[in-house]
Amino acid sequence: MEQIASFRAFGGWHKRFRHHSTSTGTSMTFAIYLPPQCDQGAKVDVLYWLSGLTCTDDNFATKAGAQRMAAELGIAIVMPDTSPRGTEVADDDSYDLGQGAGFYLNATQAPWAAHYRMYDYVAEELPALIEREFPVTLRRSICGHSMGGHGALMIALRNPGRYAAASAFAPICQPTTSPWGQKAFTAYLGDDRTTWQDYDSCHLLQHAQHALPLLIDQGEQDNFLPTQLKPQILADIAQARGWPITLRVQPGYDHSYYFIASFIEDHLRFHAHWLGEVAEG
């Protein structure tokens, strides 16, 4: 790993690193916020944050205002990039495909399959690196926004018992029926839609055997709500199966980081609670 930036924040440290990823076959960048408890010799629990379309590791770090509450609660936050990047990495002119739009899956179709293996990177490689190199426990939680909300819910549902809880802001809940998801899944996974179901949170929740707590915040004035996001479908499935889910539709809020910053404290407290339950259990 190469440290490329370090900033003091709320008594802790926000650091950015670059490393070679065996999953993507490229250089990857991630950020980590280490709360002040780490300076005092403690190991802390970890929240993984997955960002949305066009974002890097830096958007959440500079816009969400999460470090203050993470410092208070004693939680590390890990923020990976949203895709592999570089001149050797396939790309597209549109914002919703290619670099900045990895959709947290393992691509199987050319030219994407060579590097777009973000599922392996986020679910396996990055946690192993974090737990090896930083003062953290093995207790994990996961959260994200939009495309990253899709990633957070999907990865948690595919890995029962690995995460204490999952939460999301305006997630793409059923990508197999949304324009964003259909475009990306066709390119990355091909035309066989049965392969898409492995990355669709609604399908995964319908068949999941291990319940985990879910929190979703959705802005009522989000322009993408009717066609792209569809959180009510996920909530209906969860409720029908007796899953612990909270869906909050927030009046007047849109899809922006103003929305995320307004409710990030609630999400951090939610994760702290369930990480604590894991520790006690």
Residues with catalytic roles: 146, 222, 255
Q: In what order do the strands lie in the sheet with 12-20?
A: 2-9, 12-20, 27-34, 75-80, 44-50, 136-145, 163-169, 214-219, 245-250
Name beta bridge partners: 246. Answer: 215
Closest by alpha carbon to 102, among 177, 162, 27, 50?
Answer: 50
- Cα 258–260–103 angle (5° rounding)? 120
* Bridging pattern class, strands 75-80 and 136-145: unpaired
Q: Which 8-state DSSP code applies to residue 98?
A: B
Asked if residue 185 lies in contact with residue 176, where contact means CB atoms within 8 angstroms, the answer is yes
Asked if residue 149 lies in contact with residue 170, where contact means CB atoms within 8 angstroms, the answer is yes
Ramachandran angles phi, psi of 130, nearest 5° = -60, -45
Closest by alpha carbon to 74, among 165, 12, 142?
Answer: 12
From CA 138, how far away is CA 173, in angstroms rounded? Answer: 27
Cis peptide before 35 (omega within 30 of 0): no
